[in-house]
Amino acid sequence: MAKTNAKVDGVFRTRSLGIAASGVQDQYSDGKAAKVWHLYIGGKKRTNEYADAITRVLRENGVQTVLDAACGTGVDSILLVEAGFTVKSVDASDKMLKYAHKLRWQRHSSDKAFENWEIGEGDWLDLENCEDSIHHPDGGYDCVICIGNSFAHLPDFLGDQSMHKRAISNFHKMLKPGGILIIDHRNYDHIIKFGKLPNSSSKLYYQGDRIHRIKTSVLTVDGECTMITLDYEIDISGTGLADATDPMREKPDGTVVSISQFRLSYYPHTLAKFNALLEGVFGEDADHKVLPDFMESKPSEDYVPSYLVHIIKRKE
């Protein structure tokens, strides 16, 4: 288990060099992850993995309006627009939103549904005040989604999860009575225990076949895990993205490839604590279920999910 190997010049770095540290930092602001994100997620392979599951959940709950609170490059929003939902999308990273805006522009002339897709910058700690970029519907949304392990980017500077509680409260406020929040996190219980990502048959959100390596670092303070850092290496050979500064790596078959590297850090939400976080806002008696990798149940007793997907309903 790596405890402090995410170092540069002897200092433990929580993000790729060049990213601002003030406030709630945008870990994507250097553009490194955004540039290769489509290779990491695997394009349509990503949404094909869970398209039926998420659209089924939405239709079972009578959802029409959706706020994608962590839209990134727009891949999940596009899935939902194509499925006939009215979608508004926000993200804190302008580097990621640039790609979402580009995709909307490419689609809007040939598909009228994309003309109504609103995209803008949004801060989970102040969601009500992003009206200059998107317009919230009167009465709230039928559904808010925050998936792809996105919520784990929000740090816990004060050590009391007050920022997490504030963000969940804002998601709750965005919902109309009876609306649902769909939010997830990696299987951090497994990562903390074993020091590596689960070797699940389902990678769910990240289906790219150019993932060379993901290195896991677990930071502990006084015996308690406080942060997980993942160092990503993406094969960019033959994509037109490589340059002379990119490192080279040898694949198991002996092929040498150019690599793009980026680092992302996450708050390690364990299942028990995340359940308590959600139910502390929505109520202990709220309708709340957890899906392993967006499945209704584990396919086998020894199956270890990569992600835990929470669906919780605001009371009527």
Which residues form the catalytic set? 28, 148, 153, 186, 206
Q: How far, in Å, CA of 21 to CA of 26, rounded? A: 8
Residue 187: φ, ψ to 5°: -80, 75
H-type alpha helices, 83-183: 94-108, 162-174
Contact (CB, 8 A) for 308 and 187: yes
| Size of the chain in residues | 316
Q: List all residues 6 or more positions away from 21 whose beta carbon is below 8 Å from its beta carbon.
A: 15
Q: Give the CA dihedral 52, 54, 60, 62, nearest 10 degrees.
A: -120
Q: From the CB of residue 251, how many other CB atoms can be counted at a distance below 10 Å?
A: 11
Nearest to 239 by CA among 202, 275, 201, 209: 209
Contacts of residue 200, Cβ cutoff 8 Å, sequence gap at least 6? 293, 303, 304, 305, 306
Q: Say which residues have a Cβ less than 8 Å from residue 114's Cβ, sequence separation at least 6.
A: 81, 104, 107, 108
CA-to-CA distance for 207 and 44, rounded, in angstroms? 9
How many CA atoms, within 13 angstroms, populate the side-chain half-sphere of residue 8?
A: 8
Interatomic CA distance for residues 262 and 214, integer angstroms: 10
Q: Which of 55, 37, 24, 306 is nearest to 162 (CA)?
A: 24
Measured CA to CA, the distance from residue 236 to residue 244 in angstroms comes to 12
